[in-house]
Structure 1
Amino acid sequence: MFGSLTGLKNQQGTDWGEKLLNNVASTTIRHLFTASESVEVQVRCFPSSKLLQGSIDSFKMSGTGLVIRRDFRVEEMSFETDAVSIDFSSVLGGQLRLKQPTQAIAQVVLTQADLNRSFEAELVKKKLENLSIPALDEIFEGETVSFTQIKVQLLENNRVRIDSEVVTGKGKTVPVSLTSTISVERRRRISFTEQQFEAEAIPESFRDISQTLTEALGEILNNMVDLDKFDLDGVTLRINRLETQGETLVFSGYAQIEDIPKNAKSGN
Structure 2
Amino acid sequence: MFNSLTDLTNPTGGDWGERLLNTVASKTIRYLFTQSESVEVFVQCNPSSKLLQGSIDSFKMRGRGLIIRGDFRAEELSFQTDAVVIDFSNVLRGKLTLKQPTQAIAQVTLSEASINQAFKAELVKKRLLNLSLPALKDISGGELVSFEAMQLQLLPNNRVRISAKADLSNGELVPISLSATIAIERRRRLVFCNPKFEADTVPESQWKISETLSYALAPILDRMVDLERFDLDGITMRLNRLETQGKQLIFSGYAQIERIPTRTPI
- Using the size of structure 2 for normalisation, the TM-score is 0.93
Partner of 1:207: 207
The one-letter code sitting in structure 2 at the alignment partner of 1:136 is L
The 8 Å contact of residues 135 and 143 in structure 2, kept in 1 or not, is answered as no
Answer with 245-254 or 14-23: which moved more.
14-23
The 8 Å contact of residues 183 and 190 in structure 1, kept in 2 or not, is answered as yes
**2: CA distance between counterparts of 1:197 and 1:187?**
27
Q: Does 1:46 align with 2:46?
A: yes
Q: Note the 1:230-249 alignment, pairs <5 A.
A: 230-249=230-249
Q: Note the 1:157-196 alignment, pairs <5 A.
A: 157-196=157-196
The 8 Å contact of residues 50 and 56 in structure 2, kept in 1 or not, is answered as yes
The 8 Å contact of residues 145 and 168 in structure 1, kept in 2 or not, is answered as yes
Partner of 1:227: 227
Task: Tell me how far 1:171 sits from its aligned partner.
Answer: 3.3
Task: Tell me how far 1:223 sits from its aligned partner.
Answer: 1.6
**1: CA distance between counterparts of 2:247 and 2:19?**
37
**2: CA distance between counterparts of 1:52 and 1:195?**
56
SS in 2 for 1:96: coil
SS in 1 for 2:221: helix
Partner of 1:18: 18
Partner of 1:73: 73
**1: CA distance between counterparts of 2:111 and 2:74?**
7
Q: Which residues of structure 1 form unaligned runs of 5+?
A: none
Q: Which residues of structure 2 form unaligned runs of 5+?
A: 1-7
Partner of 1:89: 89
The 8 Å contact of residues 6 and 49 in structure 1, kept in 2 or not, is answered as no
Partner of 2:253: 253
**1: CA distance between counterparts of 2:170 and 2:101?**
53
Partner of 1:153: 153
**1: CA distance between counterparts of 2:10 and 2:186?**
45
Partner of 2:34: 34
Task: Tell me how far 1:143 sits from its aligned partner.
Answer: 5.0
Q: Percent identity?
A: 63
**2: CA distance between counterparts of 1:171 and 1:88?**
63
Aligned pair in 2 of structure 1 residues 172, 127: CA closer, same or farther (>3 Å)? same
Count of equivalent residues: 259
Residue of structure 2 aligned with 1:8, choices 12, 25, 33: 12
Tell me how large the CA RMSD over aligned residues is.
1.6
**1: CA distance between counterparts of 2:139 and 2:98?**
58
**1: CA distance between counterparts of 2:92 and 2:259?**
18
The 8 Å contact of residues 31 and 265 in structure 1, kept in 2 or not, is answered as yes
Partner of 1:216: 216
Task: Tell me how far 1:6 sits from its aligned partner.
Answer: 9.7
The one-letter code sitting in structure 2 at the alignment partner of 1:88 is F
Runs of 4+ residues deviating >6 angstroms = none
Deviations 1:128-170 (A, max 9, x none): 1111110112433335211000000000100000000011235
**2: CA distance between counterparts of 1:259 and 1:123?**
27
- Using the size of structure 1 for normalisation, the TM-score is 0.93
